[in-house]
Amino acid sequence: MERIDLAKAIYNTAHLRGTFKLRSGKVSNDYFDKYLFESNPILLNQIADYLSEFIPSGTEVLAGLEMGGIPIATALSLKTGIPAVFVRKKAKEYGTCKLAEGIDIQGKKVCIIEDVVTTGGQILLSAQDLKECGAIVNHVLCVIEREQQGRDNLERSGLEFRSLFKMEELLVH
Residue 173 has pLDDT above 80, yes or no: no
Was 93 annotated as part of a binding site? no
Was 114 annotated as part of a binding site? yes
Query: For a pLDDT cut of 70, what percent of the chain falls above it?
Result: 99
Residue 67 has pLDDT above 70, yes or no: yes
Asked which of 3-17, 89-103, 148-162 is least confident by mean pLDDT, the reply is: 89-103
For the segment 69-97, the average pLDDT, to the nearest whole number, is 92
Was 119 annotated as part of a binding site? yes
Dist CA 25 CA 28 (whole Å):
10
Was 118 annotated as part of a binding site? yes
At 81, is the pLDDT very low, low, confident or very high (cuts 50, 70, 90)?
very high
Dist CA 47 CA 39 (whole Å):
12
Q: What is the pLDDT of residue 90?
A: 86
Q: Which pLDDT tens digit goes with each residue over 118-167?
A: 999 999 999 999 999 999 999 999 999 999 999 999 999 999 999 999 99
Q: What is the pLDDT of residue 53?
A: 98
Was 85 annotated as part of a binding site? no
Residue 94 has pLDDT above 80, yes or no: no
Was 162 annotated as part of a binding site? no
Was 151 annotated as part of a binding site? no
Q: Which pLDDT tens digit goes with each residue over 15-62?
A: 999 999 987 888 999 999 999 999 999 999 999 999 999 999 999 999
Q: The pTM is what?
A: 0.95
Was 17 annotated as part of a binding site? no
Was 146 annotated as part of a binding site? yes
Residues 6 or more apart from 135 whose CB is under 8 A from it?
61, 63, 100, 105, 106, 107, 108, 109, 110
Was 156 annotated as part of a binding site? no
Write down all domains in the chain, each with its CATH number in brackets: 44-170 (3.40.50.2020)
